[in-house]
Amino acid sequence: MSGGNLRCVVVAVDGSQESMSALKWALDNIKLRSPTVESPDDGAFVVLHVQSPPSIAAGLSPGAIPFGGPSDLEVPAFFAAIEAHQRRITEAILDHASRISSEYNVNVETKVVVGDSKEKICEVVDTLHADLLVMGSRAFGPLKRMFLGSVSNYCTNHAQCPVIIVKGKDNA
């Protein structure tokens, strides 16, 4: 993909080996349009990470603690602890992506949003007017995919730009 006509490529990362392989693939194979004086923002890879909302990460919603659970006063502290843990995870994921990206001489930006992964990825792609979305495939089996859904499948059908799914060697 060396045409150099791509202005913005979004690479979705979730910390999995598959998503980091997708980042490496994108950096190895995609040439972006070079920035110019007229368009200094051209030519950016955007590494996107989507955090789950704390209530989803905990498997519950505020105030929905079952019998014998913490009081309403303890719930905010519980959610604050989950948010802090998610920030640490996000920092580790973005640090890993930055180490990978540092090996290449390209402009890489990072973006973090909170929400449902598949919907947020498509929203960011649309907001940034991305030319391409690159993501890894975790290759869940049919049962897991039925319950968890396939983020890559959703994005392939809903993103407002072409989508490249990079399969791991075990998924091919």
**133: closest CA among 113, 158, 102, 112?**
158
> In this predicted structure, what is the pLDDT of residue 138?
73
Q: How far is 136 from 25, CA to CA, in rounded Å?
A: 10
| Domains of the chain listed by start with CATH number | 8-62+71-167 (3.40.50.620)
Residues 85-123 pLDDT 10s: 999 999 999 999 999 999 987 779 999 999 999 999 999
Q: Which residue has the higher pLDDT, 128 or 68?
A: 128
Range with lowest mean pLDDT among 20-34, 49-63, 113-127? 49-63
117-158 confidence digits (pLDDT tens): 999 999 999 999 999 999 998 766 565 555 546 898 899 999
| More confidently predicted of 139 and 159 | 159
